[in-house]
Structure 1
């Protein structure tokens, strides 16, 4: 090799390779982040504005979140007014035309699923925290998650046409793994079908639709309204008459009252993890597995004399 070619080889070896810039995806909740990461693979960077320990109805619109959105190529939202109290402020402050509502870089994922809990007639604040478009907690149902994943893959492909094949492969992998796991989950929780349950908030209609249990009472007298002693007494009486065996609550709510109800009824209290712990590397499938395991253990504990 000539001196010139040798020198050229050395110089080129010192020049850093220009990597393809990954699409920057920001999501409102961790479950959407986990799904986007599974579909997008190494062609995306993903972060969630809310933590799995936070109530997504109430997220502090911190300046750091504005900066995250300023740099985002795609914003994924749950929709159905789950984030109505905080997301709009962040979008405005971000000064990023891509991720404003209606833009190519904004995806309201509720448009991808079959909505439950759409109220009939007029809705007003006296009814509590009612969502006029339907219940927003659809990500507890893996069937809805698969529909969301398809929509995310399609939008990623629109923003990054060169990555369409990679996103299709990521979608296929995510869907196949989730479908295989779902069959096992349904078998393990078959005894839940038709079972009467009590929940704290109206958080689980999609979970109930998937697993077949019946929610007979809510510990909140109205959505978002803290329980009072009179209503709690009514819930306990009804739960006893219906022989309720499980009481469910999302992990970000205080649990003193719920544990009291479960104890008075003689039911198992199940504290449901509210979101995928994406920062710890948890996948959406692992998150649902965690929920299924908790329900399974509670059922077995109640069956044990």
Structure 2
């Protein structure tokens, strides 16, 4: 299969290079988060269209003719993958009649190919478990390290399809990663250490010891410094959308308001969650804008926890204007709530 894919890409290279001429590369992404990252990498060379708005649940996008039309002339289709779009990607790809972006072809890119995955089931699953994804939790973009991986995956595919612009894609990728690294670790750490080393140490849990051994603990900045005082704190979320963010910054999700993924809260389940909130001293209930706040407010009224409604995708709120601004917005709001501000 890998040899076939490589052969297809080699065939596609001269065709793609000839096709674009002075026209922009037409990229269609399933979500705004992928659209933002693709925009960083392609820059002015591409026109990027995102199908699912950031203020809508990406599990349940309604298939419309306009979405098929948007994909009809796409040079590259980029999906979140891990079955997030399972209910609507197929009908759009069938309806758009664009042979270049069919699954398995060079013009179809699954952005999840190399990301760090969480909650991959280890047992056979069925609908009784709710909306569980067999390849793992698909909300991986809320881990900024995965955002970094996705950017590289997109740059690699664009460079294969449009090799004439490979240098531009590489420069844009390095610029994006540099900005993301600085926002994660702070300017001082990024200047003193290889960012790849910082990420590797943070992922394996040895960054603190490295910095302490060199007397650099005070140099921590960015999102890591903001979240550091709250590591180990327990939170509650509405849907299992926030596990990647929580994992990256050392928070623990002790419960969801949904009894099972995709199943609305029941009175009995909310009573149980309220008990956990009191038991663990949970200060924060975190949820997206497109869910009702009724259940969360019911628990807040009985426990004193604070509700934070914040976008989990680019464009979900005005401040979440691009991918880096999205992560910045979420981190700031979470820290403000946990800090009592």
TM-score of the superposed pair, with normalisation by structure 2: 0.81
1:237 pairs with 2:267: no
CA contact (8 A) 2:56 2:316 kept: no
Question: Separation in 2 of the partners of 1:262 and 1:138?
Answer: 28
Deviation at 1:229, TM superposition (A): 0.4
Partner of 1:13: none
Q: 2:111 aligns with which of 109, 112, 117?
A: 109
Moved more, 150-159 or 289-298: 289-298
Partner of 1:297: 336
CA contact (8 A) 2:151 2:173 kept: yes
Q: 1:152 aligns with which of 136, 146, 154?
A: 154
Q: 2:88 aligns with which of 82, 86, 89?
A: 86
CA contact (8 A) 1:34 1:278 kept: no
Structural mapping, 1:18-97, within 5 Å: 20-97=22-99
Question: Separation in 1 of the partners of 2:155 and 2:53?
Answer: 23
Q: 1:200 aligns with which of 220, 238, 243?
A: 238
Deviation at 1:296, TM superposition (A): 2.2
CA contact (8 A) 2:312 2:326 kept: no
Deviations 1:57-94, CA, capped at 9 Å, x for gaps? 01111101101111100011001111000110000001
- Pick the structure with greater CA Rg: 1
RMSD of aligned Cα (Å) = 1.6
Structure 2 unaligned runs (5+)? 1-19, 186-221
Deviation at 1:178, TM superposition (A): 0.5
CA contact (8 A) 1:141 1:206 kept: yes
Structure 1 unaligned runs (5+)? 1-17
Deviations 1:92-118, CA, capped at 9 Å, x for gaps? 001111111111001111112011100
TM-score of the superposed pair, with normalisation by structure 1: 0.90
Structural mapping, 1:157-172, within 5 Å: 157-172=159-174
Question: Separation in 1 of the partners of 2:299 and 2:89?
Answer: 34
Partner of 2:8: none
Give the match's secondary structure for 1:41. helix
Closer/same/farther in 2, CA of residues 86 and 267 from structure 1, 3 Å limit:
same
